[in-house]
Chains A and B, each alone.
Chain A
């Protein structure tokens, strides 16, 4: 990396840092301008995908099988399947499309880490979504994990944090990008050419270069002036967004010619193309309608396989794109479903649930935590990761997020400190990742 590029990266980091309310950029050379965007460093991983089963999944039909006490009508305890250390609910005979639990565990069980008995503490969509996404229940300010990791690891990536739904607060750390349609990616590449045709630039190269230089000089000058924090943040983000956007041209070669039909696969293609192009750090993928208050089994048998099919799609495509070894996958939902059926054959909200992880640095074939036969969480000893009614704790989203921050190596980053989770050291989940 040459010095100019280094300075530029430094400047862009400072831009992001200014978003945190820290020092404004002061080291920018007037000679720096967006011609160098072609030299923008690629975000070279790890990449993070967070799958959200929006509405509240029924964990007893996936990774926390019961089959007792009327919890499940589609199988009995004796029908519970095993794959390595995993136990899971059978659903191959009941699923409506998608990928069965059996096939999913067979292919990915060895890589998969499951945590059961997660206590969301509350059981309402809005606060639960926020809590699960950020690790903080009682604040609207905290960023989601995907936004936080993007801010820490790739503030100068054009699409650093992609979201397709679910709670997506950024804590003013990084801009959120919504790219809802694959063709949109083509549309936003090559912004300096008429209709995206690189042979027809709006400006001659020298004119564009002067425009960029004028903007860079102005930004550098502004960074020396006293500004209101909001304005300072906005100007930095605006400048970074425009300059970095040039790197979007890298995405185009990775956009598939045909658009997949599955809704998660469509989101995944956008995220994966952006990862592959090195312009994105994290993505929130989401499918809804898990809120099965009416006819739980029908809904869950359609949606869980669809979710698993989406995860499998991502992993397969990542393999093809040769970024699989850099991809961290988290699958979560904002709540579970009750252990009993309501009058409409549905299940209502339940504040105990599960979460799944897979990717580099995560030892698979493991299940941490338990629920009892009534689907209540058993306390977990954070040191041994065994259930422990004496010295165990209720594992809550802040524990998960603290561990995720550690896994990503961002726990001590300024942005993480700004949004500290305040998990006591004695409650940190030791060795969760293996």
Chain B
């Protein structure tokens, strides 16, 4: 449960520092004579005052709509503005700070007094007088008021480009990474030829095409479930997603479904189980099917918060009680997973009081926000007051985690008891609740706690008066809009620049398995500057891709394409080791280097071997770092011993199942060994060795995505492994001339192994499957 009482929002507003700093030269403000034409000083301002203090602390309240919006210091945030607009905003922020730095009270700097909590500073103490942040402000005040400006204390440092010395994947390798990631398949020969000849342009076209394959939509649903976790709805969704109050007569339709034509009782029971299972699975998948529908049909991705429809299948339509009116619309009314968009009618309760308000007669759909799955996965309680939903809304749709970077309250317990309504009165509480609570109020008519009973329903006593009223970002929800409050919120969300940035970050998460960097907070960290640069560079890329996304009319594919073509996705290695701690810190998060999830690994095995392993599911998937969307919601990113053990089993078993099988097929049908006979032995003839090396090159390419020369170190090592195993076997007595029993099952033709070469190839494949090029992305 998430109630908020004592936190500050550290990153409610994204402030961008890097992109426009170089554009900014002069603060056109009479209050800042010392700063005119002082590019070094203005650079110093943005590098020190702005990035380390103002953008981290001051702007939380000193902004329009913030708790200190009536104060003398109002700062502006930068979102997706163009270059000149950014420069203007930065100039205004600089000027605002200059003005404050010149103000004095009782002969002392007002700015320096306020920041330590004096002079009735509404936010109380922000910095301690002995902190680095305070010293930065102190220096700023000194410089601003200096009669003789200092010109060269901070000369411009010319840094090398951020990606200097970082090697990038070539287009072939990039294509392999992309097709495996997006569609779970290897690139075709035609595609590889195309990128070889057509370069980035061809790559863009191919990636666009890949994002229209069915497998991509599966990946899309899976990736976004990792974010929204809507598969994690508690209980049976036929009872929790569809409430008793509003779907009493239809939600359990499957219990009365006539399966009497199945004569065998056991078979009939199994059919009943399957019906229920598929119905529930379809219900849980509706929200992600909405996302899929939007992308598949090139609709603006803003519809995830504005869509005036939901997706239903023939099974879930029955649950909503709308199947009869829709059945002609389905291609196959018996398919539990064929989804079509539908606008539901306003909810009708078992008694009139529970009927839903609606000016149109329809349910006020607002994309994911108003789905029963979202409301059910993130429920409210009497004490929570929809704040969990509000928190998740900010996280999911605006990319703001209100809680994660909460700063410390000096004494939360005291604040709780000192004020009658701390969340509206205690400054350390207000700073968050002023933002959070209005959105909680937007959800006010979804005020039922027992999801088995209802999700929609008004609070009998009316909405809480000891909370900030319903609204968004300083705008009050008009009473006339209350019936469609979530739509009202969705419309504003879609226009908010933070939405585009959040979606860009989601796309990054989908591709890399991790979230973009956060700005460093510890300004005393010796590596602060390096970490700041890393964050700024990545932030610049996020914004650039987000702008393209907006310009495309919120076409989600532009996000995928943008990231895949970016240096962050291509980065693969270094030309020389990063030797300094600063450079290491800068590069710390560069490179995809993502351990594949159980689902991705199964798909990759299928892509390489033609069939999946089929064992990375259930408990094994959980052991291998998978999630259940309920208790376990974060995928493991590094392998521990348990996962290492599964990797060994996987490598052993997949090789066992596929090597002899591949050899048992006609060469033209083989995926692994199309050009070599299993009896070719190493060290017998030059031609034989060359053939073995070519086979290894092919295995490296197919399994690892490497393009090695036959005489490369890598191929040499694999060759030595192969030859060594064969040699060891020949030195042993009593070796069985056949593959192991388990590894010769299901062969299409006999595969003798007189010389142990088949088993040696199996050892080679096992070796390759254990490598990071296979297990990681």
Question: Residues of A at under 8 Å CB distance from B?
Answer: 21, 119-127, 130, 137-140, 157-161, 165, 170, 172, 174-181, 183-184, 187-189, 191-192, 194, 200, 202-204, 206-208, 210-211, 214-215, 217-218, 221, 226-231, 233-235, 237-238, 240-245, 247-248, 279, 291, 293-294, 338, 342-344, 346, 348-352, 374-377, 394
Q: A residues within 8 A CB of B6? A: 121-124, 351
Contact of B645 among A126, A127, A188, A237 (CB under 8 A): A188
CB distance from B658 to the nearest CB of A (A): 13
Q: Is the CB–CB distance between B644 and A229 below 8 Å? A: no
Contact A202:B653 (CB < 8 A) given known A187-B623, A210-B728: yes
Contact of B642 among A122, A158, A227, A344 (CB under 8 A): A158
Q: Is the CB–CB distance between A228 and B573 below 8 Å? A: yes
CB distance from B555 to the nearest CB of A (A): 30
Say whether B222 faces chain A, with CB atoms less than 8 Å apart: no
Beta-carbon contacts of B102-140 to A below 8 Å, as 1s and 0s? 000000000000000000000000000000000000000
Q: B residues within 8 A CB of A243? A: 644
Contact A119:B411 (CB < 8 A) given known A184-B623, A210-B721, A241-B641: yes
Instruction: Apart from A140-B405, A229-B584, A230-B589, list 15 A-B contacts with CB within 8 A.
Output: A175-B638, A178-B625, A179-B642, A180-B619, A207-B728, A210-B728, A214-B767, A226-B575, A229-B590, A230-B591, A238-B595, A242-B639, A245-B644, A247-B641, A351-B411
What is the CA–CA distance of A227 and B167 in the complex, to the nearest angstrom?
10
Q: Is the CB–CB distance between B641 and A177 below 8 Å? A: yes
Beta-carbon contacts of B624-635 to A below 8 Å, as 1s and 0s? 010000011000
Q: Is the CB–CB distance between B573 and A227 below 8 Å? A: yes
Q: Is the CB–CB distance between A234 and B646 below 8 Å? A: no
What is the CA–CA distance of A146 and B333 in the complex, to the nearest angstrom?
53
Contact A125:B1 (CB < 8 A) given known A188-B645, A237-B638: yes
Contact of B383 among A181, A242, A344 (CB under 8 A): A344
CB distance from A233 to the nearest CB of B (A): 8
Q: A residues within 8 A CB of B711? A: none
CB distance from B481 to the nearest CB of A (A): 30
What is the CA–CA distance of A237 and B644 in the complex, to the nearest angstrom?
9
Q: A residues within 8 A CB of B771? A: 215, 218
Q: Is the CB–CB distance between A234 and B1 below 8 Å? A: no
Q: 10 A-B residue contacts at CB 8 Å?
A: A121-B412, A127-B403, A127-B406, A159-B642, A172-B638, A211-B766, A215-B767, A229-B590, A242-B648, A244-B641
Contact of A217 among B412, B636, B717 (CB under 8 A): B717
What is the CA–CA distance of A192 and B742 in the complex, to the nearest angstrom?
13
Binds A, one of B304-312, B451-459, B470-478, B757-765: B757-765
Q: B residues within 8 A CB of A192? A: 648-649, 652
Contact of B7 among A122, A204, A228 (CB under 8 A): A122
Beta-carbon contacts of B425-439 to A below 8 Å, as 1s and 0s? 000000000000000
What is the CA–CA distance of A349 and B648 in the complex, to the nearest angstrom?
46
Say whether B617 faces chain A, with CB atoms less than 8 Å apart: no
Contact of A188 among B10, B642, B767 (CB under 8 A): B642
What is the CA–CA distance of A178 and B406 in the complex, to the nearest angstrom?
28
Q: Is the CB–CB distance between B2 and A126 below 8 Å? A: yes
Q: Is the CB–CB distance between A137 and B652 below 8 Å? A: no
Looking at A139, A203, A352, the one whose CB has the most chain B CB atoms below 10 A away is A203
- Interface positions of B from 679 to 733, Cβ below 8 Å from A: 713, 717-718, 720-721, 724-725, 728-729, 732
What is the CA–CA distance of A88 and B625 in the complex, to the nearest angstrom?
40
Q: Is the CB–CB distance between B644 and A120 below 8 Å? A: no
Q: A residues within 8 A CB of B720? A: 214
What is the CA–CA distance of A242 and B406 in the complex, to the nearest angstrom?
38
Q: A residues within 8 A CB of B479? A: none
What is the CA–CA distance of A211 and B404 in the complex, to the nearest angstrom?
45
Contact A178:B759 (CB < 8 A) given known A21-B584, A214-B721, A346-B383: no
Say whether B578 faces chain A, with CB atoms less than 8 Å apart: yes
Q: B residues within 8 A CB of A237? A: 638-639
Closest to A127 in B: B406
CB distance from A213 to the nearest CB of B (A): 8
Say whether B74 faces chain A, with CB atoms less than 8 Å apart: no
What is the CA–CA distance of A279 and B404 in the complex, to the nearest angstrom?
33
- Interface positions of B from 381 to 407, Cβ below 8 Å from A: 381-384, 403-407
CB distance from B655 to the nearest CB of A (A): 8
What is the CA–CA distance of A189 and B645 in the complex, to the nearest angstrom?
7
Beta-carbon contacts of B647-680 to A below 8 Å, as 1s and 0s? 1110011011000000000000000000000000
Say whether B740 faces chain A, with CB atoms less than 8 Å apart: yes
What is the CA–CA distance of A204 and B656 in the complex, to the nearest angstrom?
13
Say whether B156 faces chain A, with CB atoms less than 8 Å apart: no
Say whether B354 faces chain A, with CB atoms less than 8 Å apart: no
Q: B residues within 8 A CB of A352? A: 413
Contact A123:B572 (CB < 8 A) given known A230-B593, A244-B644: no
Q: Is the CB–CB distance between B383 and A348 below 8 Å? A: yes
Closest to B10 in A: A138
CB distance from B646 to the nearest CB of A (A): 6
CB distance from A117 to the nearest CB of B (A): 11
Q: B residues within 8 A CB of A202? A: 652-653, 655-656, 740, 742-743, 766
Say whether B256 faces chain A, with CB atoms less than 8 Å apart: no
CB distance from B699 to the nearest CB of A (A): 13
Say whether B576 faces chain A, with CB atoms less than 8 Å apart: yes
CB distance from B633 to the nearest CB of A (A): 11
Q: Is the CB–CB distance between B721 and A191 below 8 Å? A: no
Beta-carbon contacts of B417-431 to A below 8 Å, as 1s and 0s? 100000000000000
- Interface positions of B from 536 to 572, Cβ below 8 Å from A: 571-572
Contact A231:B587 (CB < 8 A) given known A191-B652, A217-B717: no
CB distance from A231 to the nearest CB of B (A): 5
Q: B residues within 8 A CB of A215? A: 767, 770-771
Closest to B622 in A: A180
Q: B residues within 8 A CB of A138? A: 10, 405-408, 521
Q: Is the CB–CB distance between B728 and A161 below 8 Å? A: no
CB distance from A283 to the nearest CB of B (A): 12
Q: A residues within 8 A CB of B30? A: none
Contact A226:B640 (CB < 8 A) given known A127-B404, A211-B721, A293-B381: no
What is the CA–CA distance of A172 and B577 in the complex, to the nearest angstrom?
20
Q: B residues within 8 A CB of A247? A: 641
CB distance from A8 to the nearest CB of B (A): 15
What is the CA–CA distance of A247 and B648 in the complex, to the nearest angstrom?
13
Q: A residues within 8 A CB of B572? A: 228
Q: B residues within 8 A CB of A183? A: 619
Contact A122:B413 (CB < 8 A) given known A191-B645, A241-B639, A248-B645: no
What is the CA–CA distance of A241 and B406 in the complex, to the nearest angstrom?
35
CB distance from A387 to the nearest CB of B (A): 16
Looking at A157, A172, A181, A237, the one whose CB has the most chain B CB atoms below 10 A away is A237
What is the CA–CA distance of A229 and B589 in the complex, to the nearest angstrom?
7
Q: Is the CB–CB distance between A348 and B588 below 8 Å? A: no
CB distance from B197 to the nearest CB of A (A): 29
Contact A179:B623 (CB < 8 A) given known A124-B6, A207-B759, A226-B574: yes
Q: Is the CB–CB distance between A228 and B590 below 8 Å? A: yes
CB distance from B580 to the nearest CB of A (A): 12
What is the CA–CA distance of A377 and B414 in the complex, to the nearest angstrom?
10
Q: B residues within 8 A CB of A214? A: 717-718, 720-721, 767
Q: Is the CB–CB distance between B648 and A294 below 8 Å? A: no
Contact A126:B404 (CB < 8 A) given known A177-B642, A228-B573, A279-B641: yes
Q: Is the CB–CB distance between A194 and B762 below 8 Å? A: no
Closest to A203 in B: B763
Q: Is the CB–CB distance between B584 and A175 below 8 Å? A: no
What is the CA–CA distance of A120 and B7 in the complex, to the nearest angstrom?
12
- Interface positions of B from 1 to 52, Cβ below 8 Å from A: 1-7, 10
CB distance from B765 to the nearest CB of A (A): 10
What is the CA–CA distance of A242 and B643 in the complex, to the nearest angstrom?
8
Q: Is the CB–CB distance between A206 and B728 below 8 Å? A: yes
Contact A226:B577 (CB < 8 A) given known A126-B404, A234-B776, A351-B6: yes
Q: A residues within 8 A CB of B743? A: 202
